[in-house]
Chain A
Amino acid sequence: MYHADEEVGTEMSKFVDESSKAAVDCPVEQVKWALLEKEDSEYARLLDGVMDVMSVLEEDIGATSVIPRTKQHLYGQVIALRVAQEDHLETGEAMVIPLIRGNLSVECQLEAVGALLLDHEFDDQSWVIDWISQYLTLKENGLLRDLDSYARQAQPVA
């Protein structure tokens, strides 16, 4: 469940122009950039949480039943991970998305979003979209499919 999120971290940052970051004089903008840097540490915390849970799961692979102590351990880690994920997503929604909206052209945004939604390394390039769509309303799915077709047009031909 973190594939796309990982992609956000790698794909979006390459579209952010460092010179525009350096040119920011406004204190409000400086705070925004500082929060963006804080987001890196939130993301690292998120990955640490995933690794913690994966470690417990790997130890218990093959077990026919999970002992209560392991369950408590897992539950605590999943809750901690949920908090870390929520911090990360909320920072993204409150700070990163407005910054990208204000600094990247629609074409650049389409290219970045296309890199998130379309997996050129798989035969089924739309598997990310299909995975997301099962959690969306009919209306949201329509928006996603429209964006998908625009993103495909914006993608460089392989």
Chain B
Amino acid sequence: MATENIHTLENPIDVIPLIHKAFRAVSDRTEASTFDDVLALNEAFAF
């Protein structure tokens, strides 16, 4: 998974991996949850 830190944006489109990094962080958190709290899961998927 490409979650390494990014040091330069040579082209504007290179911002996309930064957006992906945020998606992956939310996914990590969701995957690690205990699935006990439906409201928390709803919050994760509401975006």
Contact = CB atoms under 8 A, between A and B. Distances in A.
Interface of A: 1-5, 8, 50, 53-54, 57, 60-61, 63, 65-66, 71, 74-75, 78-79, 82, 85-86, 89-90, 92-93, 97, 100-101, 104, 106, 109-110, 112-113, 116-117, 131-132, 134-137, 139-140, 143-144, 146-147, 150-151
A62 to B, nearest CB: 8
Contacts of A132: 18-19, 21-22
At the interface, is chain B mostly helix, strand, loop or mixed?
Answer: helix
Interface in B1-47: 1-2, 5-9, 11-27, 30-31, 34-38, 41-42, 44-45, 47
A150 B47 CA distance: 26
Contacts, number: 119
Given A132-B22, A139-B5, A117 B35 contact: no
B11 A86 contact: no
Interface of B: 1-2, 5-9, 11-27, 30-31, 34-38, 41-42, 44-45, 47
A2 B22 CA distance: 11
A57 B24 contact: no
B16 A8 contact: yes
A3 B44 CA distance: 12
Contacts of B44: 1
A90 B2 contact: yes
24 contacts: A1-B22, A1-B44, A57-B42, A66-B36, A66-B37, A71-B35, A74-B35, A78-B30, A78-B35, A79-B31, A82-B31, A86-B1, A89-B2, A89-B20, A89-B23, A89-B24, A90-B2, A93-B2, A106-B11, A135-B22, A139-B5, A140-B6, A150-B12, A151-B12
